[in-house]
Amino acid sequence: MVNEQRLEVGSTIAIEKSVLDDLLKRLKENGYQIVGPRVKNETLVYEKIDELNDLPHGYITEQEAGYFRLHEAGHSRYFDFIPGAQSWKQFLFPPRVDLFKLQKTNNHWEKASEENQTVKYAFIGVRACELNAILIQDKAFMREDFTDPIYRSRRERVFILSVDCLHPAETCFCASMNTGPRVKDSFDLNLTELDDVFLVKVGSEIGRNILNGLPFELASSFMVSSAERGLENAAQQMKRELNTDGLPEFIMANLDHPQWQEIGQRCLSCANCTQVCPTCFCWDVTDQVTLNNNETRRERVWDSCFNPGFSYQAGGNTRPSIQSRYRQWLSHKLGSWPQQYGTLGCVGCGRCITWCPAKIDLTKEISIMREEARS
Amino acid sequence: MIAPTIHSAHETHQLLEPDWAEIIDITHEINDVSTYWLKFNDANLQANYSFQPGQFNMIYVPGFGEAAISICSNPNDHSLIGHSIRFVGNVTNAIKNLKAGDVVGLRGPFGTAWPMKELEGKDIFIACGGIGLPPLRPALYHIMQNREKFGKVTLLYGARTSNDLMYTDEYDAWRAADIDVQITVDRGDSNWTGRVGVVPMWFYQFRIDSRKTSVLTCGPEIMIRFVIFEALARRIPTENIFVSLERNMKCGQGSCGHCQLGPYFVCKDGPVFRFDALQPFFNVEEF
Amino acid sequence: MDYVKEIIAEYQKIPWFQELNEKHLRKISEISTLRHVRANETLFREGDKEDSIYIVLEGRVALDIFIPHKGKVRFYTAEKQELFGWSSVTPTVRQRTAGATAVMDGLIACIDAAKLRQACDEDHDLGYLVMRRLANIVASRLLVTRLQLIDMFGYSESKNG
């Protein structure tokens, strides 16, 4: 189906699902390292993908607090599952990365090598919540007064192929966070998956160029209204919500709320939530030195405010109790983040709820705090 | 809110990559504190390096890591950069094993400064203790070099014992520059003829005009808390109290998240804070 | 009496005494003496059974406790216009628990504590003012002691830089 219609940035067209395969080939030809969702050992990961069939075709996920299952439901769609523990932050902000290597010659340290951490990624299947998380991390890693060169070099080059969510999981609450299920902007191409076709919205010139020349048809009004209906249903179906009215002020005014202590008795301080959270950005740096002390590698690794040593300094630990560390995490995410970066730090993806072994649900905890503060 | 310093990173540098500086001299100060005088290997860097009182550098010992150390030297002296270092952890104890001639990594300056411009025309009451004096010494140099711009200046400094007092050979020079230097120790021996008693409690001994006095304080956080308590009791407004805080710092640039206190990154929005900004969080336990 | 007038004049420089009425001020002055001290002069020792309350008018007095193997530890200094030896006002104390040594030449006012206690018994208004003042002094000393006790400059060994 070749069409005379010219593709523009902002156009929405429809493609046969197999055309996505051609799109992936195009991306590879353009030097992108393509990463996307795949099923691996009964779990969902974001890894290298080569073709359409690498995607979790026919899968759905079942999620609840402390519960995650991947099922092969046998339907015909590629993106009906809701993402698992991994998020895209591992690519822009790698969990472990070398900053530089030093070598000692004649008792004198010198840089041994330049670590070029620039990678050109194509992200396939970015959800609205995940895209908003990337935008939130952009504000943390790329500022006027300081920019992380690793993050920026990857972020500037990344191709984002995003996907609207039509079947949210039980732990999703992006609708109440105003971060989904619909992808609004900041993408190169956005897909809405219907039964037979993908609707594709062109978000940028780069997206337009990659798509240009591939067969497409105009999106019919039936297709568009199906997509709209699907998105509306998705938003309605969400089982969880977070009331964000005056939330930062509420949290900062209730740092002494007894509920923190209550949570502190359940929280394991395992740091799962910070690992799976797509906006958490804390990191540590270590010297990986050889035994003869002649070479050292400065390595940046993910860190977590739940780690006991996180706030340790000469004189002691400023957050020795689990309760204080949990409060730090949540009061940062929902309380002080806006003052730092202009938005809340949470995108409602629900990962912290799904992957918490103690089943702690922040939407429930905040709701309890608000209730008790009212009475 | 004191605006953070915009640090112009060397464009060619990797993240956290330091410049290199030689230890030119080491002054033994007290039992576990020595002052390291550093000079960049690159003469241009050294000539162009400048800092404001209250700022800090990240000093790197390859194989061990970095430590955030306040700069304690005269801001007008561009020949050497001084850092009084207490040997208390892995990195600082590694520094202790270095000698003059050894080279360390150096990044900085980082952080906010004591508001010297805003303090002009005011009386200044400096209440500090222990290793809290080094970050204030550059402010003292600035005051001495611009004495006529400031009103009455009092330094109330305390330490655990007389053996723990820093920079004792400079007190007379400060007094000669019309700074009222008052010293106290937590406990004295029979040879000590000075004050015995904690810094916050001596506050009340001084006559201050609370309408034109600003308080600068630095030291153990518990001491800071009580100094502020006393300052507020003397009706000094929270906008005129300035505090220098310390937190676990890894990057010094407001990125790694370790040093956060509520919405503030102590390395970027501090370490010098105006107290009214800190007040909502200051007395929250374990925050 | 000239001597009492001299004492009144000294007391009038001290803020608390300025709150007393003339009768009370005179009463306390009549039971006080002035004592010039030299540096290193001992005013009283641990274990002494003497019964006075002191106010530093000029100079500085160190309070100390003798610790075997450590020597005399000075745990407080009374500065100008500060009171020490307050335990004499409470009826239960029988002997000094610390020593007092002048650290520099100075002038100390000494109040006969037995006579002060009697004056307080006879005039409850005066008694109330004196006890109230003492309560403030003891509270403030307690706070100093607590801050000394928590040893805010004491640092533990830590592993990180």
The reported pLDDT for the residue numbered C158 is 35
Residues A230 and A270 in one domain: no
Left, alpha or beta for A28 (phi > 0: left; psi -120 to 50: alpha)?
alpha
The reported pLDDT for the residue numbered C91 is 66
The reported pLDDT for the residue numbered C2 is 81
Residue A42 belongs to a domain: yes
Q: Provide the domain limits for residue A150.
A: 12-87+117-237
pLDDT class of B1 with cuts at 50, 70, 90: very low
Total structural domains in chain B?
A: 2
> Could you say which of B105, B248, B257 has the minimum Cβ distance to residue A312?
B248
- Poorest-confidence range of A162-166, A316-320, A368-372? A316-320
Within 8 A of A330 by CB-CB distance, chain B residues are none
Residue B2 reports pLDDT greater than 70: no
Residues B94 and B124 in one domain: no
Residue A339 belongs to a domain: yes
The reported pLDDT for the residue numbered C93 is 66
> Could you say which of B63, B248, B280 has the minimum Cβ distance to residue A313?
B248
Chains in contact with A via at least 3 Cβ–Cβ pairs below 8 Å? B, C
Pick from A238, A265, A243: which is nearest to A182 by CA? A238
Residue ending a domain, choose from B61, B79, B110: B110
Within 8 A of A136 by CB-CB distance, chain B residues are none
Within 8 A of C156 by CB-CB distance, chain A residues are 315-316
- On whether any CB of chain C is under 8 Å from the CB of A313, the answer is yes
pLDDT class of C161 with cuts at 50, 70, 90: very low
Q: Is the pTM of this model over 0.90?
A: yes
Taking residues A110-136, report their average pLDDT.
92
The reported pLDDT for the residue numbered C36 is 97
- On whether any CB of chain B is under 8 Å from the CB of A2, the answer is no
Residue A153 reports pLDDT greater than 70: yes
The reported pLDDT for the residue numbered C89 is 78
Residues B140 and B221 in one domain: yes
* B134 CA: distance to closest CA in chain A (Å): 16
Q: Provide the domain limits for residue B50.
A: 19-110
Q: How far apart are the first and last CA of chain B?
A: 20
pLDDT class of B6 with cuts at 50, 70, 90: very low
- On whether any CB of chain A is under 8 Å from the CB of B107, the answer is no
Residue A299 belongs to a domain: no
Q: Do B129 and C161 touch (CB under 8 A)?
A: no
φ, ψ of residue C73 to 5 degrees: the values are: -105, 125
The reported pLDDT for the residue numbered C134 is 92
Residues A220 and A127 in one domain: yes
Residues A370 and A330 in one domain: yes
Residue of B162, B201, B224 to mutate for C, most C C-beta atoms under 10 A: B201
Residue A100 belongs to a domain: no
Residues A128 and A191 in one domain: yes
CA B144 to chain centre: 17
- Three-class SS of A117-162: CCCCEEEEEECHHHHHHHHHHHHHHECCCCECHHHHHHHHHCEEEE
* B120 CA: distance to closest CA in chain C (Å): 31
> Could you say which of B90, B222, B248 has the minimum Cβ distance to residue C150?
B222
Residue ending a domain, choose from B83, B110, B137: B110
Residue B4 reports pLDDT greater than 60: no
Taking residues C91-102, report their average pLDDT.
84
Residues A66 and A202 in one domain: yes
Q: What is the pLDDT of residues B151-171, one digit of tens each?
A: 999 999 999 999 999 999 999
Tell me which chain B residue has its CA closest to the CA of residue A323: B286
Query: A348 near A179, Cβ under 8 Å?
Result: yes
Taking residues B269-281, report their average pLDDT.
95
Task: Name residues whose C-beta falls within 8 Å of residue B55's C-beta, 6 or more positions apart in sequence.
Answer: B5, B70, B71, B108, B109, B110, B111, B112, B113
Give the Cα-Cα-Cα angle A282, A287, A290 (nearest 5 degrees): 150
Residue B132 belongs to a domain: yes
Residue A360 belongs to a domain: yes
Taking residues B9-34, report their average pLDDT.
88
Residues B170 and B63 in one domain: no
Task: Name residues whose C-beta falls within 8 Å of residue C118's C-beta, 6 or more positions apart in sequence.
Answer: none
Residue ending a domain, choose from B95, B110, B125: B110
Q: Do C158 and A314 touch (CB under 8 A)?
A: yes
- Read off the amino acid at residue B94: A
- Does domain C31-143 sit in CATH 2.60.120.10? yes
Q: What is the pLDDT of residues B226-261, one digit of tens each?
A: 999 999 999 999 999 999 999 999 999 999 999 999
Q: Do B90 and C161 touch (CB under 8 A)?
A: yes
Residues B120 and B99 in one domain: no
Q: Where are the domains of chain C?
A: 31-143
Residue ending a domain, choose from A217, A237, A257: A237
Residues B160 and B190 in one domain: yes
Mean of pLDDT over chain A: 94
What is the H or E stretch that residue A177 is in? helix A174-177
Residues B90 and B143 in one domain: no
Q: What is the CATH number of the domain that holds B50?
A: 2.40.30.10
Residues A181 and A263 in one domain: no
Q: Distances from the Cα of A105 to the Cαs of A289, B21, B105, B179, in angstroms?
A: 15, 16, 16, 49
Residue A3 belongs to a domain: no
Query: A281 near A140, Cβ under 8 Å?
Result: yes
- On whether any CB of chain B is under 8 Å from the CB of A320, the answer is yes
Residue C66 reports pLDDT greater than 60: yes
Residues B102 and B166 in one domain: no
Residue ending a domain, choose from A210, A237, A264: A237
Q: Do C156 and A315 touch (CB under 8 A)?
A: yes
Q: Do B66 and C161 touch (CB under 8 A)?
A: yes
Tokens (6 digits) for C32: 């006080």
Pick from A330, A357, A369, A368: which is nearest to A346 by CA? A330
Q: What is the pLDDT of residues C22-58, one digit of tens each?
A: 999 999 999 999 999 999 999 999 888 888 999 999 9
Mean of pLDDT over chain C: 89
Residues A134 and A205 in one domain: yes
Residue A249 reports pLDDT greater than 90: yes
- Read off the amino acid at residue B53: P
Residue A329 belongs to a domain: yes
The reported pLDDT for the residue numbered A361 is 98
Tokens (6 digits) for C58: 């000029």
Query: B87 near B31, Cβ under 8 Å?
Result: no
pLDDT class of A374 with cuts at 50, 70, 90: confident
- On whether any CB of chain A is under 8 Å from the CB of C156, the answer is yes
Residue A113 reports pLDDT greater than 80: no
Q: Do A312 and C155 touch (CB under 8 A)?
A: no
Q: Do B285 and A324 touch (CB under 8 A)?
A: yes
Q: What is the CATH number of the domain that holds B159?
A: 3.40.50.80
Total structural domains in chain A?
A: 2
The reported pLDDT for the residue numbered A112 is 86
Residue B36 belongs to a domain: yes
Q: Do A296 and B285 touch (CB under 8 A)?
A: no
C68 CB-side CA count, 13 A: 0
Question: What would you report as the CA-atom Rg of chain A, rounded to the nearest whole angstrom?
Answer: 22
Q: What is the pLDDT of residues A55-88, one digit of tens each?
A: 999 999 999 999 999 999 988 899 999 999 999 9
Q: What is the pLDDT of residues B192-233, one digit of tens each?
A: 999 999 999 888 888 899 999 999 999 999 999 999 999 999
Q: What is the pLDDT of residues B97-107, one digit of tens each?
A: 999 999 999 99
Q: Do A99 and B86 touch (CB under 8 A)?
A: no
pLDDT class of C123 with cuts at 50, 70, 90: very high
Residue A99 belongs to a domain: no
Q: What is the pLDDT of residues B87-141, one digit of tens each?
A: 999 999 999 999 999 999 999 999 999 999 999 999 999 999 999 999 999 999 9
